[in-house]
Amino acid sequence: MSTHVPAHPNWWQRNWKWCVPVLGALLLALFAAFVFGIVALVFGAIKSSAPYQQALTRAQSDPAVIAALGEPIRAGFFVQGNISTSGASGEADLAIPLDGARADGTLYVVAEKRAGEWRYETLAVNVDGGERVVLEGGSASPEPTP
């Protein structure tokens, strides 16, 4: 009479029930980190651009904007729009959320870069509630050379 000895299960057969969900969660976390990294890179590039920095500085120092929003005025995280540059030319079209002590608003920036200078076609803050403040000095400002 021959006795059949059951085969000892291998590692995968013993552990697949916890390994599959852990691997799935790990892949999902890696994908989420990748997407977050891309978003942070894009927002970082926009926020470090000359049109964003110059427009935000103007809005934060404009007396009419300060009166409407209250101090301090901070930029929100989710900037909308785009910036494209090619050498000494480029375009920017941005909507920057602003948070003030009294009210919130949106800073709209439409600019064109010619011969290394940004010229602002639109530089205005729409205050939540309807008021619009057009910023003074929206002409040209040279971009700093690196």
pLDDT, tens only, 49-66 = 999 999 999 999 999 999
Show the beta-strand stretches assigned E in 14-145.
Answer: 74-75, 80-86, 89-99, 104-114, 117-127, 132-134, 140-142
**Do 95 and 28 sit in the same domain of this protein?**
no
Is residue 70 domain-resident?
yes
| Nearest-10 crossing angle of helices 50-61, 11-47 | 60
Name the residue range of residue 93's domain: 50-142
How distant, in Å, are the alpha carbons of 45, 65, 71, 111, 117 from that of 83?
Answer: 9, 24, 28, 9, 14
* C-beta separation of 92 from 118 below 8 A: yes
**Do 54 and 117 sit in the same domain of this protein?**
yes
Number of domains in the chain: 2
> 105-118: per-residue pLDDT in tens?
999 999 999 998 99
**Do 117 and 69 sit in the same domain of this protein?**
yes
Is residue 61 domain-resident?
yes
**Do 16 and 77 sit in the same domain of this protein?**
no
**Do 93 and 125 sit in the same domain of this protein?**
yes
